[in-house]
Structure 1
Amino acid sequence: MSVLQEGSGETNDCLVGDSVNVPNNHLLRGPEVGTTQDRKGQNEPDCEPRSGQGSRRNARKHRPGPKAGVARSLGRYPFLAEVKVYLRDVRHAYAESTFVEIERKLPYIHEVLLLLKSRNLVGTMNPNKIGQLEIGAFVDWMNAKDGLRTRPLGPGYQKKLLQHLGNFLAYNDNNIIDRMVRKKQLKRPREPTIPQSSFDEEELAAVIVALEEAADRSLNALGVFGHAVFCGFTGTRPKEIRLANRSDYSENYWELTVYHPKGENAWADPRTVRVCSPGRGFVADFMGLRARELKRRGIQDGRDLPLVPRFTKSGVEQWPDNALHNVKCDVERSLGLRFDFRKLRRSYGQNAFDKGARMDHVSKAMGHATVSTTQRYYVRARSAAALDEIDRVYAVASVDSIRADCRKARCSE
């Protein structure tokens, strides 16, 4: 029995898609505080339940259509009816992963609103008419006020839900969330700053050496080694390397032109990155292993071949995202390592900054539109380095010299 119809005695079916079983305490419990346990949707319903599907479906066949001049009714579930139209219209405006997230979260928000309506906390489910009362009740539910939940949602998860709800309502010419923010009636949740770990130069070299030794024996490890080398010594994203061709890389200048910034269906300008000097030997080793395998298979190294190819029985292809992730996990287990391509990318930026590179230059090399993105998620001023810099500044003018200058100034008066 669904939480939304507790005690009704009705059987719930899905309005869209296949039927799912929603846990009774799902909306009252939710993800842990400070986490977003929704990446695979394990804490979210796939679709919205409703009762009496069979009888209403038969009745709908004989229901007369709307009369001329009369506005179309949105039915019993106006929110979901408009969600279908919204998803159809914005599908090509988002990357696939983002669209899947939207497709999952809006029905989840609809189920929350149904719960609030069953408790007489909201007055309407129509996206065109949702107002301050409904938004306030939804925010109270996220923050577990008045016993609506057993614990609040994390601020990052709250921010995502409000963002998707706001975009959906704005599509329906309802800017209630923006108006409430401007009038100080609503404060957008701020995602806390999460410390991001990175490898120092010695740790990075140890990981790359272990991967290179495995790449000499395994073709799967060779693919992981290639992605790790370019992520760790050019600061590129793994999806950018996965989509790169051989023609994009110049061995004479150690430069790689990224023609697919941020991966598929992402809008950004191409940029050129350069292999930093500590990684050039590793990159040369990878290109040697790559050429050796192509020669063994009798394949001509053409410009259209992937930069980091996946060798299969049928030939050479680009690495699929899921396959690369699974192979990386297998390599980690076999070598007893723990690493992440994104951590290697962060290590590139952090090590460059620690060596004295300016933050805006690091941000530009990593392909960020603003320095704030680099500072928030990738590169931080280390506490020890900050204290050393302060000591260096104060060492220029010691306390004794400052006192002497003050005495001279008083005597001259």
Structure 2
Amino acid sequence: MGKRSNLDIGRAEMTRLRAAKLESVHLGRYPFEAGIKYYVAKNEPYFAKTTLYEDEKKLRLFIPFFEELKKDGVIKTTDPRRFDEMHISEFVLWLKNRGLSVSTQIKYFQVLKGYLELWGNAICRRMKDTRVLRLPREKRSKPIKALTIDELRSIFSAADKVPGWNGIMLRGYVAIAFGTACRPKEIILSEERDLDLPAKRFYIRHPKGEGSWADPQWIGIVREDMVRKLTLFWEERRRFMEEHGLKSDFLFFNKSTRSHYSLHGFHRMKEILEEKTGIHFSLKDFRSSFCSIMLSGDLSRLKAVSLQLRHSSVKTTELYYAKISASEEIDEAIGDVWMKNIIE
């Protein structure tokens, strides 16, 4: 079972942590780890719960790295109030050497920066301002991948053959993802009551931008074929949980942690389908695939698709579709040309 989130430690303790004066808090033998609960408590009123869960997971990922640096004598402390240029430069190098995408490196850095600034340490900002620190820049206009209808059929067929609880979870995910065009976390964090099959709709309880610019809302399950698949998913999920004495409000319930699945957990399950089909894809590809298939050859649906995707404007959807089209155009133009000059 995974380590319990600090968001679950209780209201009285969260209030106590929020009232603490950080400059004088004693953080003990493992200060970086001990400080995380204060970060969660102090930011609880301002961040969406899902954002704090993700930030906490990332910060926990950093713990062994900084402890190893201290053990090797590279740094003297892991107290977030005393991080200096050595801590940050080693961290940036660690991110680079892990082979992470540029966007992931930037996200990890921003989480660490926010954590340190909570403790009154602006070392990241100072290093950027003096140009000591230069982060890689993310490409703004990279194409967006979309699955073809044949690839989708292969993935759905493979999901139908996965046994046990993993199979049930995968079948439910792909049906909601392609039937609603929702984002991965919006699906994984859903509850049982969020799937309303009689009304053919799905409640987005934790939308992207939750707590700032987006509110929970109902969205239609606009593909009838996915409604049928979700009806089967609902029944086999209910039957499995009854037979095994399981109870949970979460639609995608992790039997090991007794909570909802993490995004990482679903990525691991997704690999089952990749192995069975030979198709490498992302959980978010169902959203772009929905857009591509719905708009292919008929841009009169643009406004409706924009509403389904919950974009801020039709223009946003146009740009999104343009990136998908660019990727498809490259694939179509190059195709199997390489087969004419194979290198053994």
| TM-score computed with the length of structure 2 as normaliser | 0.57
Cα contact 2:197–2:227 (8 A) shared by 1:
no
Extract unaligned runs of 5+ from structure 2: 3-22, 45-50, 331-344
Distance, in Å, in 2 between the alignment partners of 1:211 and 1:153 is 31
Q: Check conservation: 1:142, 1:158, Cα contact below 8 A.
A: no
Matches within 5 A, 1:348-359: 348-352=290-294, 354-355=296-297, 356=299
Q: Secondary structure in 2 aligned to 1:257?
A: strand
Equivalent pair of 1:257/1:272 in contact (CA under 8 Å) = yes
Identify if the C-alpha distance between structure 1 residues 347 and 379 changes in structure 2 by more than 3 Å, giving closer, same or farther: farther
Q: 2:137 matched to which residue of 1? A: 190
- Aligned pairs for 1:92-131 within 5 A: 92=41, 93=44, 94-106=51-63, 108-109=65-66, 111-112=68-69, 117=74, 127-128=80-81, 130=83
Residue 199 in 1 paired to residue 151 in 2?
Answer: no
- Cα 1:190–1:377 shift into 2, 3 Å: farther
1:244-270 C-alpha deviation (Å, 9 max, x unpaired): 435642545x332222436x9999521
The CA distance in 1 between the partners of 2:234 and 2:74, in whole Å, is 61
Counterpart of 1:255 in structure 2 is 201
1:202 deviates by 3.5
Give, in angstroms, the shift of residue 316 of structure 1: 6.4
Q: How does 1:27-46 map to 2 (within 5 A)?
A: none
Is this contact kept in 2: 1:102–1:164, CA < 8 A? yes
2:173 equivalent to 1:227: yes
Specify the SS of the correspondent of 2:202.
strand
Cα 1:203/1:115, change in 2 over 3 Å: same
Find the aligned partners of 1:173 and 1:381 in 2 and give their Cα distance. Answer: 46
Counterpart in the other structure of 1:87:
36
| CA distances 1:86-130 after superposition (whole Å, capped 9, x unpaired) | 212123545434312202314523543675757xxx9x8765465
Task: Tell me whether 1:287 sits opposite 2:238 in the alignment.
Answer: no
Q: 1:234 to 1:127 in 2, by over 3 A?
A: closer
Q: CA RMSD in A?
A: 5.2
Residue 319, structure 1, aligned to residue 252, structure 2:
yes
The CA deviation at 1:363 is 6.3
Q: Is the 8 A contact 1:350 1:379 kept in 2?
A: no
Q: Which amino acid aligns with 1:201?
A: I
Which residue does 2:156 correspond to in 1?
Answer: 208
Q: Is the 8 A contact 1:261 1:268 kept in 2?
A: yes
Tell me the amino acid that sits aligned with residue 274 of structure 1.
G
Q: CA deviation at 1:183?
A: 4.5
CA spacing shift, 1:342–1:268, aligned 2, 3 Å: same
Verify the 8 A CA contact 2:181 2:290 in the aligned structure 1.
Answer: yes
**Please, which of 340, 345, 352 is the counterpart of residue 287 of structure 2?**
345
Q: Match of 1:227, SS? A: helix
The CA deviation at 1:239 is: 4.8
Q: Relative to structure 2, which stretch is displaced further, 231-240 or 242-251?
A: 242-251
- 8 Å contact kept, 1:95–1:265: no
**Pairing of 1:322-337 with structure 2 (within 5 A):** 325=266, 336=277
CA change 1:350–1:284 in 2 (3 A) is same
Please say which structure displays the higher CA radius of gyration.
Answer: 1
The 1:354/1:311 distance shift into structure 2, 3 A limit, reads: farther
Is the 8 Å Cα contact of residues 59 and 111 (structure 2) preserved in structure 1?
Answer: yes
Structure 1 residue identity aligned to 2:227: V
Gaps of 5+ in 1: 1-39, 41-70, 298-308, 387-413
Provide the C-alpha distance between the structure 2 equivalents of 1:227 and 1:186, rounded to a whole number of angstroms.
41
Deviations 1:261-292 (A, max 9, x none): 36x9999521232233xx31342354267459
Identical columns (%): 19
Structure 2 match to 1:20 = none
Q: Assess if the C-alpha contact under 8 Å between 1:91 and 1:99 holds in 2.
A: yes
- Asked whether the 8 Å contact 1:231–1:344 carries over to 2, the reply is yes
Asked whether 1:162 is paired with 2:162, we answer: no
Aligned residues of 1:310 and 1:319 also touching (Cα < 8 A): no
Q: CA deviation at 1:368?
A: 6.2
Residues 184/284 of structure 1: CA separation in 2 closer, same or farther (3 Å cut): same
The 2-side partners of 1:359 and 1:126 are apart by 52
Amino acid corresponding to residue 197 of structure 1 in structure 2: K
User: Post-superposition shift, 1:204?
Assistant: 1.9
CA-CA distance at 1:225 after TM superposition: 2.4
Deviations 1:343-371 (A, max 9, x none): 32332234345453788975663456798
SS in 2 for 1:173: coil
Q: One-letter code of the match for 1:207? A: I
Distance of aligned partners of 1:337 and 1:126 in 2 relative to their CA distance in 1, 3 Å threshold: closer
